[in-house]
Structure 1
Amino acid sequence: MTELAGLTLAAPVLVASGCGGTGRELAAYGPLADLGGFVTRSITLNPRPGGPLPRIAETPSGLVHAVGLQNPGLEPFLATELPWLAQQGTRVVVSIAGSSLGEYAELARRLGRSPGVSAIEVNLSSPDAPTTGVFDVREPFHAASVVAAVHRDLPRGVPVLAKLRTDVVRVVESARTVLDAGADAVVVGNALPAAMPDGRQAGLSGPAILPVALRCVAEVCAELPGAQVVGAGGITSADDARSFLAAGAVAVQLGTALLHDPTAAARIVADLHDVVPEPTID
C-alpha cells in the first residue's frame, strides 16, 4: 500500500492525465482497482473539441502532441464518465484546467462534492497553454494563486495535487510556493514545450524527457524533504519507476507508455510487487 496526501493507494503507480482515455479503454487490459489511481484527462467547465489534426507525431524517443485539452466539459463528465470510474474500485483523481481563477474555483467546488472523487489534480503545466486558452502559469505566484483558489473552494478532506512542469531551474521554487498555498502533494513532470512539424505549439513526452523529470523530482525531494512528490515523465518500466521512488517520490504516474502498450501500468505494478518482500513477523 502507498500513502499519498492522506489517501491509501493500492500501488505506487497511477495513470497520468490524458493517457487513459475515459478509463474504459484501459479496463480491457486489467482491473483499474489494481492501480494506485486513475487521473482523468483535464476537465474544463465547457466542452472542448481539441486541436486540429494531426495532433500526435512520433519522434525517435517519444511523442510530440497538441491535443488541445479535448474533453466533454464538466456536466457530461459528471453524468457519464465519473459514475463509471467510481464503480471500478480505484482512486479517481480529476485533473482540472480553467481559463481563470474563477473557473478553477468552480470546478473544484462542483467536483469536490461529487461522489467518487478522491482528489483533484490542478494542471499547472500545460505545454501549449497560450494556444489552448487555459490560465497561463508562467511564474510560481501564478501557480500559487490557482492552488489557493482551488483549495479555498474544495470541501475539507479532498486532497489537492499540483502538477508542475519539468523546469529544472524553478521547480523547487514552484513546488514550495504551491505547497504553501495549500497543495497536499506535487506531481513533478509533464510534457516539455515543443512544436509539431508544422510549427504549432505542442508538448514532448516519452522516454526522452525521463532524465529531466528525474532530476526535477530529485531536487524537489532533496530541498523539500517534507513534501510528498509524485514523479512523472518517460516511465516505461519498473526500473524506471524505481528510479523515481529512490529519488524520493512516493508514487509515479505513467502516461505515454500506455499509448504504446496499454498493459504497461498493470505490468509495472506486478513487477514492483514481485520484488518488494512482504513484511514478516517473528
Structure 2
Amino acid sequence: MSAWLPGPVLVAAGCGGTGRELEPYAGPAGLEGLDFVTRSITLDARQGGPGPRLVEVPGGVVNAVGLPNPGLEHFLATELPWLVRAGARVIVSIAGSTMGEYADLARRLSRAPGVAGLEVNVGAPDEVGLGLFEVREPYHSASVIAAVRREFPADRPVLAKLRPDVSRVVEGARSCHEAGATAIVIGNAVPAAFPDGRAGGLSGPAIAPIALRCVAAVHQALPDLPTIGCGGVRDLASARSYLTAGATAVQVGTALLHDPTTVARLRAELDPTRHPSTPTPSEEDA
C-alpha cells in the first residue's frame, strides 16, 4: 500500500472556494492540517459558464459552473500562498484541454512551495462542453495520469478523480493506478440536465448509492489502492458508509452549500483526538 494516506475528511474540489470562505466555519483550528482540494485550476483563466449555474433538485444539485478559476499564474501568486499560510495541506485540482496542458500544470506546480499533491480531474460530467481533454476510455485517463506523474515528484501524491461509472470504474481505477496514480477519488458529478435541458452534472445525496457501489467494487478488486469516496457525504452515517465500503477517506462537497460547518463536524467525529475542543454527539448528550 502507498505510504501516503489523507486525513479522514477532505474538502472536495471547488466546494471550499478559495479557502477564505470556508475558514470561519472550519472549527477551532481553522484550516490547519486540513486536506484542502482547490477548485480545478487551468493554465488560463476561465470565467465559467452562463447563469444559472446551479439548481437544487430532489436529492442534490445540478450544476454547470464551467470551472471558473483565475488561471495558474494568479493562483500561484494569490490563492496558494494564502492557503499555505492558513496551514492547509493543499492538493491542487488540475484540468486541461490536452495532455500537454496537464503535464505543463504538473511541472509548474511541482516547483511551487506548499503544493502537497495534485488531484487530476479526468471525470468531469461534460468534458467536451467544458473544452477539456475527452476521456472516453480508461486508457485516456491513464495517459493523462502518466503525463502528470512524469512531471510531478514521486514522493508527492497524484490523485485521479473519476466519475462514478459502475461499468468502467474498476478498469479506470486500475489503469490510472498502473499509470502512477497514488489514490483514486470516486464521485465526480454524474451527467445530468437542467430543467431547461442544458447539460450539467448531478451531485449530492442522490448519487451516493452509485458512488458507494463504485467504491466497494474498486476496493474489492484493488484492496491495496487508497480510494476516496465523494458524493452525498453530509453526516457521520454517510461518511461511515463509504469507509465501510472500503474507502480510505471521504470528500465533502455539496453539503458545504447547506452547512459550511460539515467538514469541521466530521473531522471531529471521525478523529476526535485531532480536535478535542469540538464536542462529539455523544459528549453533547452526556
SS of 1:114's partner is: coil
Q: 1:11-43 deviations in whole A, cap 9, x for unaligned?
A: 3000000101000000011211253x0000000
C-alpha displacement of 1:103: 0.1
Secondary structure at the counterpart of residue 14 of structure 2: coil
Matched, 1:246 2:252: no
1:19 alignment partner in structure 2: 15
Q: 2 CA distance for matches of 1:8 and 1:61?
A: 30
Deviation by residue 1:219-266 (Cα, 9 ceiling, x = unmatched): 000011111111111111011111111111111100000011100110
In structure 2, relative to structure 1, the CA distance for the partners of 1:239 and 1:207 (3 Å cut) is same
What whole-Å deviation, never above 9, does each CA across 1:148-179 have from its counterpart, x for those lacking one?
00001113322110001100001000000000
Please say if residues 166 and 212 of structure 1, whose CA atoms lie closer than 8 Å, have aligned partners that are also in contact.
Answer: yes
| Separation of aligned partners in 2, 1:220 and 1:95 | 22
With structure 1 as the length reference, what TM-score do the two structures score? 0.93
Residues 238 and 269 in structure 1, CA contact (< 8 A), matched pair in contact too: no
**What pairs up with 1:38-77 in 2 under 5 angstroms?**
38-77=36-75
Partners of 1:88 and 1:100 lie apart in 2 by 32
C-alpha spacing 1:212/1:132, structure 2 compared with 1 (3 Å)? same
Map of 1:51-200 to 2, 5 A cutoff? Answer: 51-200=49-198
Contact 1:217/1:244 (8 A) holds in 2: yes
Aligned length: 272
Please say if residues 121 and 162 of structure 2, whose CA atoms lie closer than 8 Å, have aligned partners that are also in contact.
Answer: yes
Identity %: 62
What amino acid sits opposite 2:81 in the alignment?
A: P
After alignment, is 237-246 or 44-53 more displaced? 237-246
Amino acid at match of 1:77: F
- Contact 1:34/1:266 (CA < 8 Å) preserved in 2? no
1:7 to 1:89, Cα distance in 2 relative to 1, 3 A: farther
Residue type of the alignment partner of 2:260? P
Report the 3-state secondary structure (helix = DSSP H, G, I; strand = E; otherwise coil) of the residue aligned with 1:246: helix
Is contact 2:8–2:271 with CA below 8 Å preserved after alignment?
A: no
Q: Residue 133 of structure 2: SS of its match in structure 1?
A: coil
2:25 is the counterpart of 1:29: yes
Distance, in Å, in 2 between the alignment partners of 1:184 and 1:236 is: 25
Equivalent-residue separation in structure 1 for 2:212 and 2:161 (angstroms): 15
Q: Distance in 2 between matches of 1:5 and 1:177?
A: 16
What letter corresponds to residue 55 of structure 2 in structure 1?
A: A
Report the residue type matching 1:23 in the other structure.
G
Could you say if the C-alpha distance between residues 156 and 14 of structure 1 is closer, same or farther in structure 2, counting changes exceeding 3 Å?
same
Q: Give how far 1:108 is off.
A: 0.2
CA, structure 1 residues 7+32, in 2 after alignment: closer, same or farther (shift >3 Å)?
farther
Instruction: Choose 55-64 or 264-273, whichever is displaced more.
Output: 264-273
What code does the residue aligned with 1:32 have? L
AA aligned to 2:31 is L
What are the superposed Cα offsets for residues 125-168 of structure 1, whole Å, 9 maximum, x if unpaired?
Answer: 11121111011111101001000000011133221100011000
Deviation (angstroms), 1:182: 0.6
The answer to whether the aligner puts 1:230 opposite 2:228 as a matched pair is yes
Shift of 1:269: 1.2
Q: Which moved more, 1:139-148 or 1:152-161?
A: 152-161
Moved >4 Å (runs of 4+): none
- Paired with 1:155 and 1:186, the residues of 2 have a C-alpha distance of 18
Conservation of the 8 A alpha-carbon contact between 2:33 and 2:89: no
C-alpha separation between the residues in 1 aligned to 2:130 and 2:240?
34
What RMSD in Å do the two structures reach over aligned CA positions?
1.7
Contact (CA 8 Å) 1:6, 1:159: kept in 2 or not? Answer: no
CA distance in 2, matches of 1:71, 1:5: 31
